Amino acid sequence: MSHMNAPAMSRSNVTLDIEALSFKATMLSLAGISIVLLLAPTVIVLIVSFTSDYSLRFPPTGFSLQWYAALTEDAALKLAAWNSFKIAIATTLVSVVLGVAAALSIARSRTLSAQALDQLFMSPLVLPALAFALAALMFFSVMGFPISTTSLVIGHTIVCIPYVIRNTVAALHQLDPALLECSASLGASRSYTFRRITLPLIRPGILAGAFICFMSSFDNVPVSLFLRDAATDMLPIRMWQNLENSLDVTIAAVSGVLIAFTIVLMLLMERLTGLSKRLA
């Protein structure tokens, strides 16, 4: 009987191997297609940013650095970039302070109030950005609060703080409670334990949330569109307006600078947090 069952078992093993190979090939193909779809627009923009033509066209007929040189002479774009950078920095600082405090309060609590606060903080990720921006504009108008840089930072903070909270909460969930108990049993105060144990261990989560917060604020269009004033020109809005009026090649050069800037920030985050080592 064992000799009779051997061929059947062999055929079953071959079938399983074929199914495993088929599944692996399908997943690799889907992953490859996804990577191409994600990277192709970025690569095309980078190539076009070095064009010698005077219009956005692909493939370019020649290559030149003239559009990157033109960026240094465009005062409007430089002012918009500086405004976006300042708003993103202010938003990140406020979001980190408030987000870490909120995460410490709700991370290890199982009460209904903590769960309700968690859902409240995450709600900006669910609500459409345009709807929130319009509602914020109406709220500030009703309250008599002038549209200014302050209102812009408040709006950006509301939509960006969930990233800080979620990453910090994830880091706190990986923190061993025994470390905090040992610190308390040795006579350390809560503030000392936070500064010397909790904060260093959750630092990668805070930095990751701050990075996402900064990039989200810097690239935010809906909130900036509704809550900026006449004196606060934001880079995404300026790029959008330039593309609406004319196919300005300098916008491709700006995109190239932003891509390089993002890559540098990603490498810096990897250097500071070592996320790839944690995922390995």
pTM, two decimals, is: 0.79
Q: Supply 173's token pair.
A: 């969930």
**Rounded distance, CA 68 to CA 48, Å?**
12
User: Is 13 within the bounds of a domain?
Assistant: no
User: Is 251 within the bounds of a domain?
Assistant: yes
Nearest CA to 273 among 177, 215, 174, 206?
206
Nearest CA to 99 among 172, 167, 191, 199?
167
Instruction: Give me the CATH number covering residue 138.
Output: 1.10.3720.10
User: Is 69 within the bounds of a domain?
Assistant: no
Domain region containing 84: 74-279
**Rounded distance, CA 127 to CA 134, Å?**
12
The number of domains in the chain is 1
**Rounded distance, CA 125 to CA 112, Å?**
21
pLDDT in tens, 130-167: 888 888 888 888 888 888 888 888 889 988 899 998 88
Q: Which residue in the block uniquely carries the two structure tokens 């500064």?
A: 195
Does residue 216 contact residue 163 with C-beta atoms inside 8 Å? yes
User: Is 16 within the bounds of a domain?
Assistant: no
In order along its 280 residues, the chain shows pLDDT tens digits of 445 455 555 555 556 567 677 778 888 888 888 888 888 888 888 888 887 777 777 777 778 788 888 777 778 888 888 888 999 999 999 999 998 888 888 877 777 777 787 788 888 888 888 888 888 888 888 888 888 888 888 889 988 899 998 888 888 888 777 777 787 777 777 777 778 888 888 888 888 888 888 988 988 888 888 888 777 788 888 888 777 777 777 888 888 888 888 888 888 877 776 655 544 4
User: Is 65 within the bounds of a domain?
Assistant: no
User: Is 4 within the bounds of a domain?
Assistant: no
User: Is 218 within the bounds of a domain?
Assistant: yes
Paired residues of 51 in beta bridges: 63
